[in-house]
Structure 1
Amino acid sequence: MKFLIHKRLVLSAAAAVVVGLLAWTAWPQRVTVETATLSQGEFVRELVEDAQTRVRDRYTVAAPLTGHLLRPRLKPGDSVSAGDAVAAIAPIAPGLLDARSLAEQGERVAAMQAGLARAQAHLARAQSALQQATSELDRTESLAREGFVSSNQLESVRLTRQQRLQELTMAEQDRNSTAHDLQRLRIGLAQAGWPAAQGLWRVHSPVAGRVLRLYRDSEGPVASGAPLMDIGNPSQLEIVTELLTEEAAGLPQQARAWLVHWGGAGRLQARLSRIEPGAWTRVSALGVQEQRVRVVLDWVEPPPAVLGDGYRMEIRIVVQQVQDARMAPVSTVFPHGSGHAVFVIDGGRVRLQAVQLRSRNGQDAWIETSLAPGTPLVAYPPTGLRAGDRVRTGG
């Protein structure tokens, strides 16, 4: 009898253990989550881009003619005054003639000399004919006054003299044209030495400043219009960056900006000056076509003297600034339905709270909510987390 009672007790205890294990297995486990806190303060949204300095008024000095550039004496950083000679160019020499071409050109000159002699002979003949026609006209007019010559005969003599005058004019023009052609051929025969016989053309600086860049630092042939050097005042700097057109269109007037990673300590302050009116297409590193526009900013305080033209830095342009804003880390806000929501930790469980997302930056999201500052939130909520789940904080 005692054995049976003992056996029943053992079976009852085993059944209780099994039921307890089943209940423990079926009981919901706590989910480990990371936590963050709702805060209140100043919300700032910035655009972060690369920027560089640029001399405000840059003058590019170009070659005014094709020729041979002499070695420049100036170096980048040298000071120049307005009107100073900054480069010298020897005009290009004419092509030299070989023996055959020289002989052919000499024969052309001889032929043209003969043509000039013929033109001069025609001119002399025209002068004699005019002189004879003039004498005939004088004699005929004298006879006409005495009544020995008819009016028709007098008119014929006058027309003859007019024709001789026109022939003389044509002969003079032929003589002059032949003389000019002969001179042109003689110029072609002239093989003046270079550069001794050629004068140097001095290129002058349009403004006072310093040499920013030399495009040519050695002598050699140069084409007309080729850039030689850039001149400007390196103390007159502005900041230039390139933004997407939709970002540039949303910038407030005189937007504030901060310059970092410029090579020195601290941040430099700048302010929006202008947005250039023309945009262009640029292909990004991912192969996406972007419409970009150049944005120019001015310094709030004079820039450090160590900065020069074309120095690169990072710019942070303030696009939005709100005081006393409720802010939650961006890792706590997620899409929910047609809006956004957060998970609030309340009594060891999570509660779904809808919020209105107004804006966000790289770290914080500006939201409108009735939650008080300091409310604990779930950061990076797991995919399977649901409202009412029991949680324990893990960070």
Structure 2
Amino acid sequence: MTLRFRTVFWTAAGLAVLATIIWSFWPKPVRVDTAPAATGSMTVEIRDEGRTRIRDVYAIAAPVSGRLLRLDLEAGDRIETGDVLARILPSEPSILDTRSQGEAEAAIHLAEAALSAARAEAQTAASVLDLAREDHTRIDRLRATGIASQAQLDRAAADLRGAEAAANRAQAAIRMREAEIEAARIHLHGAGSGAQTTAIFDIRSPINGVVLQVRRESEGPVAAGAPLVEIGDLAGLEIVAEFLSADAVQTEPGDSASITGWRRDAPPLPARVRRVEPYGFEQFSPLGVEEQRVNIVLDFTGPPEDWGALGHGYRVEAAITVWQRDDALQVPVAALFRHDREWAVYRIETGRARLTPVVIGQDNGIQAEVLEGLSAGDRVVLYPGEGVTDGVGVRERSVIE
């Protein structure tokens, strides 16, 4: 009995030691982070910095030489059409010879012809504005019945704002041409008289808007053509962003966009691409790399009160949507790696990592669209390291690990 007990005891002890040795050297599952391949909405955007600008900035210059009276305007002041921006006491007119007098008379005729052309353009702009209003009203009714989409209504609203801006520009052009005629007549009025004029020449605003810059404030002599003030209408605010040419070719007019970075904790402002400029230019990045850039012009599509705090030349960030799909099968970019010049992932199957080639479509830097190789619900390994190989056992890392 004693011999049998010893035999059983040492046999059991040997088996236990052998099992311990085998367990110690048995390959342990590799702890990994995982994520599922899921179907959902996916968007690809191009992003870059931009700045706001007023579409039409009016640089008001002195039409005649003389003495400028002190300007009471300051940047940010609201102005209405016809408000006096500056006042000039014209200098003594010089005696004009026959040739100069003929040139002055020709300048009046030229200004009158330009006024006629401006009035014709104003009529055309008024017709376009009436058509844009009718289109907007019609699409608004169709939107209420569900026939037209919100995108069509937004596009009609943008067209209406553009037509209104064009009509305002046409009216401003008429007032500017009238001012040119007045200045030309003042120049001719004193021809050959040599008398000192005491009439004060008032420079009036051609638009409703705000004062952007006061270029000359103090009283003193001023030459014809000298810049005095810059004015503009903030209702015509737009965004111009400098995108890499490789990104710019992916977008086109009408693409939706969002504007961020203009105020802390502010929601994105909706916008739409109006124009992709055809001219590229070279620019150096902060790292000294030469880049080819293209200006993309965007319009706000939301109500003006949402972006009313913005002004001319403010920095913003523009994100343009170049691709979107609601039912895209996608995986995190962190799961992808190159294998035999193709994309691949490690798919988890019954506790083991299986090397799985995949075909990738769109990529937004965070998620990648999967065209072939995976199905919805498959789990893949994130950031696969050297310890993860085809067929190796894996265990998903818990949160506390």
The TM-score with structure 1 as length reference comes to: 0.64
Q: What is the distance in 2 between the residues matched to 1:227 and 1:370?
A: 66
- Alignment partner of 1:331: what SS? helix
Q: Is the 8 A contact 2:213 2:231 kept in 1?
A: no
> Structure 1 residue 279 and structure 2 residue 271: aligned?
no
What amino acid sits opposite 1:48 in the alignment?
R
Matched, 1:28 2:30: no
Q: Which residue of 2 aligns with 1:352?
A: 355
Query: What does the per-residue CA deviation read over 1:233-289, in whole Å, with 9 as the maximum and x for residues that have no partner?
Result: 111222221111111112134111122344375332211100123222211111111
Deviation at 1:390, TM superposition (A): 0.6
In structure 2, the residue matched to 1:74 is: 73
Q: Which amino acid aligns with 1:287?
A: G
1:86-120 superposed Cα distances (whole Å, 9 cap, x missing partner): 23457899xxxxxxxxxxxxxxxxxxxxxxxxxxx
Distance 1:202 1:40, change over 3 A: same
Structure 2 alignment gaps of length 5 or more: 93-195
* Distance (whole Å) between structure 2 residues aligned to residue 268 and residue 21 of structure 1: 65
Q: Which amino acid in the other structure matches residue 238 of structure 2?
A: E
Secondary structure at 2:321 match in 1: strand
TM-fit CA distance, 1:319: 0.8
Cα separation, 2, equivalents of 1:257 and 1:302: 15
Question: How far is the alpha carbon of 1:56 from its aligned partner?
Answer: 1.6
**If you compute each CA radius of gyration, which structure gives the higher value, 1 or 2?**
1
Match of 1:294 in 2: 295
Would you say the 8 A contact 2:74–2:214 is kept in 1? no
Tell me the distance in 2 between the aligned counterparts of 1:346 and 1:4: 48
Q: Return the alpha-carbon distance in structure 1 between the equivalents of residues 224 and 30 of structure 2.
A: 77
Task: Spell out the pairing of 1:104-143 with structure 2 (5 A cutoff).
Answer: none
CA positional deviation for 1:37? 0.7
The amino acid of 1:298's aligned partner reads D
Return the alpha-carbon distance in structure 2 between the equivalents of residues 224 and 19 of structure 1: 104
Cα displacement (A) at 1:361: 0.6
Shift of 1:290: 1.1
Quick check: 2:41–2:325 contact (8 Å CA) kept in 1? yes
- Map of 1:248 onto structure 2: 248
Could you tell me whether the CA contact under 8 Å between 1:77 and 1:210 is conserved in 2? no
Secondary structure of the corresponding residue to residue 362 of structure 1: coil
| Separation of aligned partners in 2, 1:2 and 1:92 | 135
1:373 to 349, 371, 376: 376
Give the letter for the 1:252 counterpart: E
Partner residue in 1 for 2:106: none
Residue identity opposite 2:311 in structure 1? D
Segment drifting more, 273-282 vs 58-67: 58-67
Q: What are the within-5 Å matches in structure 2 for residues 46-61 of structure 1?
A: 46-61=45-60
Tell whether 2:222 aligns with 1:235. no
SS in 1 for 2:234: coil
Change (3 A) 1:334 1:224: farther
**Counterpart amino acid of 1:19?**
L
Answering whether residue 334 of structure 2 is matched by residue 343 of structure 1, we say no
- Paired residues of 1:72 and 1:87 also in contact (CA < 8 A): yes
Q: 1:25 to 1:90 in 2, by over 3 A?
A: farther
Partner of 1:113: none
Give CA-to-partner distance per residue, 1:112-146, whole Å, 9 cap, x none. Answer: xxxxxxxxxxxxxxxxxxxxxxxxxxxxxxxxxxx
Distance 1:203 1:335 in 2: 72
Q: What's the offset of the Cα at 1:23?
A: 2.0
Is 1:68–1:219's contact at 8 Å kept on the other side of the alignment?
no
**Residue 216 of structure 1 aligns to which amino acid in structure 2?**
R
Rate the CA distance shift 1:277–1:228 in 2: closer, same or farther, 3 A.
farther
Change (3 A) 1:85 1:226: same
Distance 1:303 1:81, change over 3 A: closer
Specify whether residues 322 and 89 from structure 1 end up closer, same or farther in structure 2 by C-alpha distance, changes over 3 A only.
same
Going from structure 1 to structure 2, the CA distance change for 1:236 and 1:4 (only over 3 Å counts) comes to closer
Identify the residue that residue 364 of structure 1 maps to in structure 2: 367
Measured in 1, the distance between the counterparts of 2:304 and 2:369 equals 34
- Contact persistence 1:358–1:367 (CA under 8 A): yes
Classify the secondary structure of the residue corresponding to 1:317. Answer: strand
Question: Per-residue deviation at 1:52?
Answer: 2.9
User: Number of residues paired by the alignment?
Assistant: 291
Match for 2:235: what amino acid? S
DSSP 3-state at the match of 2:334: helix
Normalising by structure 2, what TM-score? 0.63
SS in 2 for 1:304: helix
For the aligned residues, what is the CA RMSD?
A: 3.3
On the 8 A contact 1:209/1:231 being kept in 2, the answer is: no
Distance 1:10 1:65 in 2: 119
What's the offset of the Cα at 1:347?
0.9
CA distance in 2, matches of 1:356, 1:65: 70
Equivalent residue, structure 1, for 2:85? 86
5+ long unaligned stretches in structure 1: 94-196
Counterpart of 1:267 in structure 2: which amino acid?
P
Aligned to 2:311: 309
State how far apart, in whole Å, the 2-side matches of 1:5 and 1:304 are.
Answer: 94
Q: Which residue of 2 aligns with 1:128?
A: none
* Structure 1 segment 206-217 matched on structure 2, within 5 A: 207-216=206-215
How far is 1:308 from its partner? 3.5
